[in-house]
Structure 1
């Protein structure tokens, strides 16, 4: 199931994406399906069954929209936590000149950084070295505390795409990464969340990023140093993961910082991040 939040004429909906259209569950049953993915996650087993039955019936034409006719919103507007893993592809470690870590390198982004599909990325007035990072992101489905690697998959709701936008000059001036990683608009993600049953193996997905039509990053999630179960288990030993929390799993090589000459984002740039089985996240740059 590919789930998206979208708006039509200022009304927000939760819907199921099928090919080039989206079926609004909110239009079919507004009492059961408010435009909130967290609510859907909290009642996942019940609401998934209800959604499947609604879609199996003859769908009201008023509940079907072309994707080109709607505005796709961030799947989760206010997650409790946005957790990111750094240096999680070996070749990315090499291009940054950093040693591969012995355990996951963790940092956070905040809700101010969230934007959605086709939204603008704003270059901060105090940065001239803004970079891109294509990433697979996990959406947590159940409260997780002290979870083992063997049971970690039980706590996954699904997967989405994140572009971990990073102001490298601010990131490295500070000696830690928060300011350079969580400026306004620096956490574009979406356009949809794909439930885990639609992703056979999160460690065998093609991942890529195009900048202005040129391929910059191209890899496979099979190259992750720390796997999805390892990351979830590692985090849950010290913090309680909550439904709707996002975990970005790290970026493959090809980022602007690692190139010669370096490539920094500029006004008018367009990025497309693609992950197999999940879709494409597109954003443009202003500033």
Structure 2
């Protein structure tokens, strides 16, 4: 099952159209908070159907309570960066206020002189995970979606704090649809691709992860409880702007494609008068 949140309510994607559901839930996150599953939407009555290209899609989860991310989690990215494989996941927590709807514009702040894209597979939690084993992870996952874990590389370099480099408003585009795990052809090899202005720049599968989805969420759950509606971004493969020496510019279009879900498209608005001295955090913080 593939679920979307539209301006007209929740819907299932069926035969290239959206079946708007007869439910009072405003978004997928609200369903998970109450039911701990999306399965109830499979049998939900349909109010009406609208063509997919006529629907206005919004952030499928509303504003998640927690958005976790992991750095350097693909073999290809570690190799491109010339870095060793980490022994433990490099985890961070980004501000959920950075979540952006699919198809929306992200305005790059003046403080960020090296804005970058990171196409990723996002995992949505359905039921509470705390001190969970790897075998308990997939049964507690509501589904997957596409994410663009945008990063201000200059802010990362000068502050060494991932949360600051990734939490600007709009820096976490998420969506457009959520696919339930039972619909995935191969949970261990989910493909993720990123295109910038139509050019394919990232292409890998979750088989290339250093810490697979089950290991990543299991490890994280031993330090923090993952709650229904929480999102875990699972890392980005090689081919980011950092790897290519080419950062985002005004008018750029980023398209993240993840197996089984609608593509996530984001449009970049880049102010012309960018100055790295407009922000107080321009030197490393001790």
Q: TM-score, normalised by structure 1?
A: 0.89
Does the 8 A contact of 1:77 with 1:111 survive in 2? no
* Count of residues paired in the alignment: 270
Which of the residues 59, 74, 86 maps onto 2:59? 74
Alignment-derived partner of residue 154 in structure 2? 169
Does residue 178 of structure 1 match 2:139?
Answer: no
Does the 8 A contact of 1:5 with 1:37 survive in 2? yes
1:131-183: CA deviation from partner (whole Å, max 9, x where unpaired): 11110010000011110112211211110110111100001110221111111
Does residue 40 of structure 1 match 2:25?
Answer: no
* Range with bigger deviation, 182-191 or 14-23: 14-23
Does residue 218 of structure 1 match 2:184?
Answer: no
1:81-102: CA deviation from partner (whole Å, max 9, x where unpaired): 1000110001201223332210
Does the C-alpha gap of structure 1 residues 50 and 243 become closer, same or farther in structure 2, counting only changes over 3 Å?
Answer: closer
Does the 8 A contact of 2:196 with 2:255 survive in 1? yes
Does the 8 A contact of 1:74 with 1:190 survive in 2? yes
Listed as ranges, the matches of 1:150-161 within 5 Å are 150-161=135-146
Alignment-derived partner of residue 52 in structure 1? 43
Considering only aligned residues, what root-mean-square deviation do their CA atoms show, in Å?
1.7
Q: Distance in 1 between matches of 2:6 and 2:31?
A: 15
Listed as ranges, the matches of 1:165-244 within 5 Å are 165-244=150-229
Q: CA deviation at 1:186?
A: 0.4
Alignment-derived partner of residue 253 in structure 1? 238
Does the 8 A contact of 1:88 with 1:104 survive in 2? yes
Alignment-derived partner of residue 273 in structure 2? none
Does residue 263 of structure 1 match 2:246?
Answer: yes
Does the C-alpha gap of structure 1 residues 144 and 45 become closer, same or farther in structure 2, counting only changes over 3 Å?
Answer: closer
Does residue 272 of structure 1 match 2:272?
Answer: no
Q: Distance in 1 between matches of 2:36 and 2:156?
A: 41
Q: CA deviation at 1:52?
A: 2.0
Gaps spanning 5+ residues in structure 2: where?
271-286
- What SS does the corresponding residue of 2:10 show, helix, strand or coil? strand
Does the C-alpha gap of structure 1 residues 104 and 50 become closer, same or farther in structure 2, counting only changes over 3 Å?
Answer: closer
Q: CA deviation at 1:19?
A: 3.8
Q: Distance in 1 between matches of 2:99 and 2:68?
A: 13
Gaps spanning 5+ residues in structure 1: where?
none
Q: Distance in 2 between matches of 1:36 and 1:177?
A: 28
Does the 8 A contact of 2:95 with 2:163 survive in 1? no
Alignment-derived partner of residue 98 in structure 1? 83
Does residue 2 of structure 1 match 2:31?
Answer: no
* Range with bigger deviation, 193-202 or 34-43: 34-43
1:168-202: CA deviation from partner (whole Å, max 9, x where unpaired): 00011102211111111000010011111111332
- What SS does the corresponding residue of 1:150 show, helix, strand or coil? helix
- What SS does the corresponding residue of 1:22 show, helix, strand or coil? strand
Q: Distance in 1 between matches of 2:117 and 2:228?
A: 27
Which of the residues 54, 74, 92 maps onto 1:107? 92
1:23-42: CA deviation from partner (whole Å, max 9, x where unpaired): 111xxx3xx43222123224
Superposition misfits of 4+ residues, deviation over 6 angstroms? none
1:31-75: CA deviation from partner (whole Å, max 9, x where unpaired): x432221232245488734642635xxxx5xx1111221210001
